[in-house]
Structures are given as structure tokens and as C-alpha cells.
Amino acid sequence: MNCEDYQWGDNADDIGPLGIDYLYIDKCISSSNYFIHIIIITLMFLWSCFLMNVMATTASNYLSPTLGFICDRMNLAYDIAGVTLLGKYCIYFLFLYYLS
């Protein structure tokens, strides 16, 4: 990767969902100094921990009660219903993704 010719966000495939160009950060910014590289890796690790926490909190507050309600209505075991519903919709969304 040539950092002199590369512009921030040049390639849409390299940009994360929040508009963060992780490839540029890793290859161009952190390659200049080892100390900066360690700081950036640490910040990326903390960022990923934060995103996992947000995802777990959302699943705990919204997915679990909804899944419990569906299980009670359909008389399903909780573990089987969770695996079945998540597997069904994951396959459905993958099918739609590859169709488009």
C-alpha cells in the first residue's frame, strides 16, 4: 500500500460501517512509529470491546425477552427456539445478500 497516493476512504470496501478506514489507520498512520502503533492497536481493541458490549446489551434487553415471549406462545424449549430462529433468519438474510 502506497500511503502517499492513498486518500482517506478511497476504497469503499476498506471503510468500516461507521466510516472508519481501518486499513489506512493500520498501514499509514501506525507504521511511522512503534509507540503510535501500540496506542492504535490498544484503541482498536478497546473499540471492539465497546462494540461487543453494546451488542450484548442490546441482545439482552431486546432479543432475549422477545425470544422468551415467542417460546411461551409456541410452546417451544428456550434453547431450541433460539437456535432455530437465529439459524432460520441468518440463512434468509444470507440468501437475500447473495441474490442482490
DSSP per-residue string spanning 52-88 = HHHHHHHIIIIIHHHHHHHHHHHT--HHHHHHHHHHH
Q: Which residues pair with 21 in a beta bridge?
A: 15
Contact 70, 81 (CB under 8 A): yes
pTM comes to 0.60
Question: Is 17 among the domain residues?
Answer: no
Alpha-carbon distance 50 to 31, whole Å? Answer: 25
Question: Is 68 among the domain residues?
Answer: yes
Q: Which residues pair with 15 in a beta bridge?
A: 21
Domain count within the chain: 1
Worst-scoring range by mean pLDDT, 7-11, 29-33, 47-51?
Answer: 7-11
Q: Which residues span the domain enclosing 80?
A: 33-99
Q: Across residues 67-85, what is the average pLDDT?
A: 79
| pLDDT value of residue 89 | 73
